[in-house]
Chain A
């Protein structure tokens, strides 16, 4: 027998709901999908905490012949009532609207008390099912063995919606859970429900994370006396583009903290991004990164990838991330639209999420990019470096040509610092430059105060992994003593950075931002927040930049045999075409760039090309042309060294220079033939 003690009477929601509900239902592009989604939310919310996805089961059945739609969940907590009421009615006879009473809030409120952390948060979901037909029976069976049913219909079939307990329909269900049965399904919903493929696609997209963890969702369609039972499967994963290595085809991050101006907004977990081998066809719902609320329901797909990524690649990116929404941190809750099918574009939290996802994606696709979106292999890069290597090795053996860097732009920039009139960060200090995962590092932020009063300062340290996403955020407070612009007060705040095992190795960044005690950012005199960043290595050795110095002089000399400081090799060889300069400009060296330019139409180059059988044979000519240019520079430098030259000196210099040039060319030919 159902658990009923009060006389049965009709209950009408406290205010007329039909119009409100109709407006809500109309806001859905597809009414049936709205039902599937809202019922799914209710069911998956009704599982006790800790229940694994593989124990979750939902069956949706539509009998198109008799126009009856039912939704049943298994193993949930059902829809119990609270201690204050009996199945939605208080002892006084008033309907229970307690936000913590599942039965009461479902039956008596337009807005439920699910508080926003559960999947549904506005309690309008039932409207979709109710308005899809004429009459709805709600059954529930609780884990303690009690069960109940209610009946929903419009008063006189046309007025507002009302409900009553319906013991005549109550029955013990096969397992705890709830069931919603609606008859006389309206034509629009009927048409949408008999489109099996669309229904399955929708269920797949909306719940694929739960499906991937073993949840069961069935869609049973009875049409023309034929029953078709569909087990909703996980959408097929496209083949990954492994052209740049298996490890580059996808990436995953256990946790990413989303921040805005140093304030934590929430966390994305289980971020997984992959690059498909082929672009997704138009309308394929797998394209983009699904944002999954609490690891259950797909709210939206993020597809607005940075435009600097070629479209052909943008259309191949897919993946997911779990947006964790709790009562303490209702991350992205306010950003959701009323239908839970997307986010408001202008919402600041969603903006921050978009920024984070864009940053990750930009880094992820790097190996697949080249101008025009083509791939460049490591072998191609190696090959391009080879010629420079040959030339620079030859130059290293001919130190007389070591003069690059003299006119280069690498000398230190002049900085004219002016005294500051605001609190600022002097520097960030680490104990070591490089760490291993599992280790901890203390970061010190040196803060200066040029103001005449002491200032309490809150330093927010943020630790970015190579993604770059925030993996740790730690505040520290300190009072910075008063000072003056010329002699500012100094204080240090510090925090301990953890290099967790889950973090990616590579170049990490530590950022410190200054705030006042109320959490408002400090700004400089141009309105920019006071922020400082510094990189730190985690199980990563930066690529050592080795340049073969052709100079032999002391590093501080800047001159002498073979040159001194900055006497580096060429940084590149490039080609140009100038027919009208085939004799006058066969090659040229721009010292400011340390690049040699060779005229493709130069007389000797053309000749070498015409006469050559080997692919490599024109390279010694390139070497000769460039060495002539080097010679000119050498001669020019030597000429400047002396004020007067007699004929003998000039003759000797020419011989010397010719000898140097010949040595370089010989060395190049030797290296080429090796």
Chain B
């Protein structure tokens, strides 16, 4: 009798290079993929990771992120998430499964088009983010799916080098903010970090417009992404150098003006620029 292939849930001893302080998430994922026949593994629980880092755990249980099993020939066969209830109409189940298949194909295709190798993070990636957001929006509308579930699906089905849900969310939010993005818009030259900082600064389109206007002013020319995040108070901790109280106040005033709609005169903009250069 042919031996059964190993189950999808696999207990493994961590190799030496992944034990204790050597553990990193990237190295672990790469190793786990190999152990699961190339399938993306589920993330380990935080407590397990901590225990590994402490050197208390050297054995882990690996599971594929997708539902399914390794068939007799050792290939992974994906199962549906939806299971019909007992006595439920099979036609209804078929409809659910068809939708699931359609969504999966779309998500896989979208992840192929939009990942860290096809869209390199950095200045100019905005165009691809916007287009990705547009496709998410169109698919959600045409198939009457919730965007939230699609974003989760994209995240769940990403492979090595795939973007996380946050990036998909940013793409969609960018498109929602600027559904009619002009070809010469300054935003197209932005990086993900800059877009994310502006989007997270406020949900209000008017405020975002004011941020856009400020960033395109001559006083703000040449600001780095880190300085923009500092200006919009998104990443204060990662800034190097001393940030004086007065600089914080100056930036705080600029942020208040951006939110309230008060005019930021040239002097104030220059002061903010100076504060950013200090930080």
Q: Which of B1-32 contact A (CB under 8 A)?
A: 1, 4, 6-11, 21
24 sample A-B contacts, Cβ–Cβ < 8 Å, listed by A number: A26-B262, A27-B253, A303-B203, A346-B233, A372-B149, A372-B152, A373-B149, A380-B85, A384-B83, A384-B85, A387-B83, A387-B86, A390-B86, A415-B51, A415-B56, A416-B58, A574-B67, A575-B80, A576-B79, A590-B69, A590-B70, A593-B9, A609-B90, A615-B90
Least CB separation from A303: chain B residue: B203
Contacts of B56 in A (CB 8 A): 415-418
Least CB separation from A382: chain B residue: B85
Provide the A518-530 mask, 1 if CB < 8 A to any CB of B, else 0.
Answer: 0000001010100
Whether B68 contacts A576 by the Cβ 8 Å rule is yes
Complex: how many Å from CA A639 to CA B3?
12
Whether B1 contacts A574 by the Cβ 8 Å rule is no
From known contacts A575-B79, A593-B7, infer whether A409 and B87 are also in contact, taking CB-CB under 8 Å: no
Q: Is A239 an interface residue (CB 8 A)?
A: no
From known contacts A590-B7, A616-B86, infer whether A585 and B72 are also in contact, taking CB-CB under 8 Å: yes
Q: Is A595 an interface residue (CB 8 A)?
A: yes
Number of residue pairs A-B, CB distance < 8 angstroms:
144
Q: Is A169 an interface residue (CB 8 A)?
A: no
Whether A588 contacts B69 by the Cβ 8 Å rule is yes
From known contacts A344-B252, A636-B1, infer whether A592 and B148 are also in contact, taking CB-CB under 8 Å: no
Whether A346 contacts B236 by the Cβ 8 Å rule is yes
Contacts of A390 in B (CB 8 A): 86
Least CB separation from B77: chain A residue: A576
From known contacts A384-B85, A390-B86, infer whether A590 and B8 are also in contact, taking CB-CB under 8 Å: yes
Complex: how many Å from CA A29 to CA B257?
8
Q: Which of B242-262 contact A (CB under 8 A)?
A: 252-253, 256, 259-262
Least CB separation from B249: chain A residue: A338
Contacts of A573 in B (CB 8 A): 83
Q: Is B184 an interface residue (CB 8 A)?
A: no
Q: Is A643 an interface residue (CB 8 A)?
A: no
Q: How far is the CB of A411 from chain B (nearest CB, A)?
A: 8
Contacts of B61 in A (CB 8 A): 409
Task: Select B54's contact among A409, A526, A593, A616, beta carbons within 8 Å.
Answer: A526
Least CB separation from A639: chain B residue: B1
Provide the A635-667 mask, 1 if CB < 8 A to any CB of B, else 0.
Answer: 110010000000000000000000000000000
Least CB separation from A525: chain B residue: B54
Provide the A347-375 mask, 1 if CB < 8 A to any CB of B, else 0.
Answer: 00000000000000000000000011110
Whether B85 contacts A386 by the Cβ 8 Å rule is yes
Whether B8 contacts A593 by the Cβ 8 Å rule is yes
Provide the A331-348 mask, 1 if CB < 8 A to any CB of B, else 0.
Answer: 000000100000011100
Q: Is A578 an interface residue (CB 8 A)?
A: yes
Task: Select A577's contact among B85, B88, B97, beta carbons within 8 Å.
Answer: B97
Complex: how many Å from CA A416 to CA B82?
40
Please report B residues at the A interface, Cβ cutoff 8 Å. 1, 4, 6-11, 21, 50-51, 53-59, 61, 67-72, 77-80, 82-90, 93-94, 97, 101, 145-149, 152, 166, 169, 203, 233, 236, 252-253, 256, 259-262
Whether B260 contacts A413 by the Cβ 8 Å rule is no
Whether B256 contacts A618 by the Cβ 8 Å rule is no
From known contacts A29-B260, A409-B61, infer whether A592 and B9 are also in contact, taking CB-CB under 8 Å: yes
Complex: how many Å from CA A303 to CA B202?
11
From known contacts A386-B87, A387-B85, A615-B89, infer whether A373 and B236 are also in contact, taking CB-CB under 8 Å: no
Whether B86 contacts A619 by the Cβ 8 Å rule is yes
Least CB separation from B48: chain A residue: A413
Complex: how many Å from CA A269 to CA B93?
48
Complex: how many Å from CA A590 to CA B4?
9
Q: How far is the CB of A287 from chain B (nearest CB, A)?
A: 11
Q: How far is the CB of A638 from chain B (nearest CB, A)?
A: 11
Whether A407 contacts B145 by the Cβ 8 Å rule is no
Counting from the closest, the 10 A-B pairs by CB-CB distance are A592-B7, A29-B260, A383-B85, A372-B149, A387-B86, A592-B9, A386-B86, A372-B146, A590-B69, A310-B148
Least CB separation from A578: chain B residue: B77
Q: How far is the CB of B151 from chain A (nearest CB, A)?
A: 9
Complex: how many Å from CA A4 to CA B161?
80
Whether A593 contacts B69 by the Cβ 8 Å rule is yes
Q: Which of A398-429 contact B (CB under 8 A)?
A: 407-409, 413-418
Contacts of A373 in B (CB 8 A): 146, 148-149
Contacts of B9 in A (CB 8 A): 408-409, 590, 592-593
From known contacts A373-B148, A413-B59, A418-B56, infer whether A575 and B97 are also in contact, taking CB-CB under 8 Å: yes
Q: Is A70 an interface residue (CB 8 A)?
A: no
Complex: how many Å from CA A310 to CA B9?
31
Q: Which of A566-596 contact B (CB under 8 A)?
A: 572-578, 581, 584-585, 588, 590-593, 595
Task: Select B58's contact among A312, A383, A414, beta carbons within 8 Å.
Answer: A414
Whether A618 contacts B90 by the Cβ 8 Å rule is yes
Contacts of B70 in A (CB 8 A): 590
Least CB separation from A388: chain B residue: B86
Contacts of A386 in B (CB 8 A): 85-87
Complex: how many Å from CA A326 to CA B161?
51
Q: Is A52 an interface residue (CB 8 A)?
A: no
Complex: how many Å from CA A528 to CA B51?
12
Whether B11 contacts A574 by the Cβ 8 Å rule is no
Complex: how many Å from CA A345 to CA B197?
14
Least CB separation from A313: chain B residue: B148
From known contacts A310-B148, A593-B69, infer whether A27 and B79 are also in contact, taking CB-CB under 8 Å: no
Complex: how many Å from CA A615 to CA B68?
25
Q: How far is the CB of A385 from chain B (nearest CB, A)?
A: 8
Whether A619 contacts B256 by the Cβ 8 Å rule is no
Least CB separation from A590: chain B residue: B69
Residue of B8, B11, B67, B86 with most partner-chain A CB within 10 A: B86
Q: How far is the CB of B203 from chain A (nearest CB, A)?
A: 8
From known contacts A593-B8, A597-B77, A597-B79, infer whether A371 and B149 are also in contact, taking CB-CB under 8 Å: yes
Whether A29 contacts B261 by the Cβ 8 Å rule is yes
Complex: how many Å from CA A408 to CA B85?
25
Complex: how many Å from CA A418 to CA B21?
14
Complex: how many Å from CA A407 to CA B11?
10
Q: Is A3 an interface residue (CB 8 A)?
A: no
Contacts of B6 in A (CB 8 A): 592
Least CB separation from A609: chain B residue: B90
Q: How far is the CB of B246 from chain A (nearest CB, A)?
A: 14
Least CB separation from B201: chain A residue: A345
Contacts of A9 in B (CB 8 A): none
Complex: how many Å from CA A414 to CA B72?
30
Least CB separation from A29: chain B residue: B260
Contacts of B69 in A (CB 8 A): 588, 590, 593, 595, 597
Q: Is A307 an interface residue (CB 8 A)?
A: yes
Task: Select B55's contact among A389, A416, A572, beta carbons within 8 Å.
Answer: A416
